[in-house]
């Protein structure tokens, strides 16, 4: 297994089972689809392109979808309405709100499920947004900090960080309650419980893509990863929720 591959497969031959991870941060085809080289400032997805990735998902007995953070680079998002060769022309690109773009991808995902999955035998899940902890003032600490050196969870049951876009959560709920209600999808809402865990990120304890500078080493919070999570940890709880919904629906 390699973290650098777009499609990673773990096979358990004795059980005739595989667990697969597929990198498609927007579900639709995008200019960030390379599993390693995807640090692009102006991200863009191609309209109607979900089968570009979806062809690799067919035949799954259980499929868990997730897409969120990559959409949230601003208030607007670029949609390519034609082939990639036309991406440099203004006529081929439409700017829409992030919520509209997200809703388009979510509806395309549901339509792909309708067209490609046997819903009598396949279980379909969608996991809600995973929050970050980049701003210490969100939980009442002095500005300028983040998850670095945090060792306790947030105790306020009503806490909601500034990075969590409720508008995106509303898009999901409105579609699932509306024109997507015919798809038997199980929604795994991990957002609120994850909001409390400012202490659960990898912080500086991870492989760095580049060697930290002397200035960064002198101030570790400048390169602390407050997006991804430690293993094991919070994601064990996510897995328990998935297990309970899978076997005790």
CA–CA separation, 236 vs 82, rounded Å? 41
Assess whether pLDDT exceeds 70 at residue 1: no
CA–CA separation, 106 vs 99, rounded Å? 10
Instruction: Find the angle CA(23)-CA(29)-CA(30) to the nearest 5 degrees.
Output: 85
Quickly state the pLDDT bin for 210 (edges 50, 70, 90).
confident
Q: Write the pLDDT tens digit of every residue in 34-74.
A: 888 777 878 999 999 999 999 999 999 999 999 999 999 88
Quickly state the pLDDT bin for 30 (edges 50, 70, 90).
very high
What is the average pLDDT value for the chain, to the nearest integer? 94
Whole-prediction pTM:
0.92
Torsion of CA 175, 67, 75, 145, to 10 degrees: 130
Using CA of residue 8, residue 13, residue 18, residue 19, what is the dihedral sign? negative
% pLDDT > 70, the chain: 98
Per-residue model confidence (pLDDT) at position 220: 93
Q: Is domain 7-32+49-75+97-247 classified as CATH 2.30.30?
A: no
Q: Quick one: 101 exposed, middle or buried, by C-beta within 10 A (0-12, 13-18, 19+)?
A: buried
Domain coordinates in residue numbering, the chain: 7-32+49-75+97-247
- State mean pLDDT over 140-148: 96
């Amino acid at each position: 297994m390699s973290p650098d591959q777009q499609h990673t497969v773990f096979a358990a031959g004795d059980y005739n089972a595989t667990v697969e991870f597929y990198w498609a941060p927007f579900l639709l085809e995008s200019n960030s689809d390379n599993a390693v080289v995807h640090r692009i400032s102006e991200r863009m997805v191609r309209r109607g392109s979900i089968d570009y990735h979806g062809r690799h998902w067919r035949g799954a007995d259980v499929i868990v979808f997730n897409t969120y953070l990559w959409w949230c680079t601003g208030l607007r998002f670029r949609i390519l309405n034609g082939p990639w060769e036309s991406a440099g022309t203004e006529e081929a690109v439409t700017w829409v709100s992030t919520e509209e773009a997200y809703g388009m991808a979510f509806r395309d995902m549901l339509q792909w499920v309708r067209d490609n999955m046997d819903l009598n035998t396949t279980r379909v899940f969608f996991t809600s947004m995973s929050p970050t902890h980049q701003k210490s003032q969100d939980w009442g600490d002095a500005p300028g900090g983040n998850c670095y050196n945090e060792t306790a969870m947030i105790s306020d049951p009503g806490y909601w960080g500034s990075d969590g876009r409720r508008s995106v959560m509303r898009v999901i709920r409105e579609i699932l309650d509306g024109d997507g209600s015919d798809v038997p999808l199980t929604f795994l809402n991990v957002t609120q419980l994850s909001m409390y865990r400012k202490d659960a990120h990898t912080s500086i304890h991870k492989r760095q893509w580049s060697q930290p500078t002397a200035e960064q080493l002198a101030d570790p919070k400048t390169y602390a990863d407050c997006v991804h999570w430690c293993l094991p940890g919070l994601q064990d709880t996510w897995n328990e929720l998935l297990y309970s919904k899978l076997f005790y629906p």
